[in-house]
Amino acid sequence: MVNQKKKAQEQKCGIFATMPKKAQEEMVGFAVIIVIVAVILLVFLRLTINNSQKEPVESYEVESFIQSFLYYTTECKDVSGNSLSVQKLIFSCYSREICEGADACQVLNSTLKGIVDEAWKTGENSPTKGYELKIDSEDGLSPITLKEGNITKNYKGSMQEFSKSGNTINITFTAYY
């Protein structure tokens, strides 16, 4: 009987001796699963945050830019001494007029270059990588084109059309980001 008790006690010790190893293995397995799930959640969270960020250039910004620069007052004056807006200067350019002793197209180019460069800074560290401004007329006169920076596959653009005395002017502005 003592032998039986001793054998039973050894079996119990054997069972208890292996239990902690199994529990440890299960705990390690559970910890590995937790780490894997945490990594997956972090990757998902990062992708979600990156996708929800605001685009560097919005459509309304491009449309508003065209509207606003058309009303910008230039250095040119008409015969009555009033300063011309960019919109009026565009018509003066296509009519081959002289403005303040200079060609209206030259004044228009330098004015537009200053406006666009100030409003749409381009470069490697800038959200705007490049831009293109094109002003042309339906009567076939040579278009005015300003380009800066890189042309990318991501862009927002807008077009404005207006006319005076049957001469229609098309302005297209595209910002690349």
Domain boundaries, the chain: 1-53, 59-176
CA 172 to chain CA mean position, Å = 18
Count, residues in the chain: 177
Spans of the chain below 70 pLDDT: 1-20, 50-57, 140
Per-residue confidence (pLDDT) for residue 65, from 0 to 100: 92
Rounded CA-CA distance 31/37 in Å is 10
Overall pTM > 0.75: no
Per-residue confidence (pLDDT) for residue 147, from 0 to 100: 93
CA-wise closest residue to 70 among 153, 154, 169? 169
Per-residue confidence (pLDDT) for residue 62, from 0 to 100: 86
Domain 59-176 has CATH 3.30.70: no
Per-residue confidence (pLDDT) for residue 14, from 0 to 100: 55
The separation between the first and the last C-alpha atoms of the chain, rounded to the nearest angstrom, is: 88
Per-residue confidence (pLDDT) for residue 79, from 0 to 100: 79
- Sign of the Cα torsion 5, 7, 10, 16 reads negative
The residues pairing with 137 across neighbouring beta strands, listed in sequence order, are 169
Rounded CA-CA distance 143/146 in Å is 10
Per-residue confidence (pLDDT) for residue 35, from 0 to 100: 93
